Amino acid sequence: MYISILSSLQKLLSRFDILQEIVNPVAQCDNFYRSYDDGLFCKQNELFKEHEICLKIGLYFDDWESVNPLGTARKKHKISAFYWVLAS
């Protein structure tokens, strides 16, 4: 099954509370990491430097088997799943 990221983002960003989190992010802190924005890679990234408001999407991939409790490496019948999350 495929669910479009673009349509999911449109629905997600149509919510006022979520849109406000994107437009008005939490201030960064130099002493510890709270989010991706606090990391050195994000601070040095040219795209994030040029654009004040920018969506950061984290992508994840996982293989799983619904009938095998021992793990995904035991059989050849597995299901692949992709996940995404808005990074702040």
Return the domain boundaries, the chain: 5-87
* DSSP reduced 3-state for 35: coil
Residues of the chain with pLDDT under 50: none
End-to-end CA distance of the chain: 27
pLDDT at site 88: 65
Are 25 and 37 in contact, with CB atoms under 8 Å apart? yes
Are 20 and 86 in contact, with CB atoms under 8 Å apart? no
CA distance linking residue 19 with residue 80, whole number of Å: 30
pTM for the complete prediction?
A: 0.65
pLDDT at site 10: 92
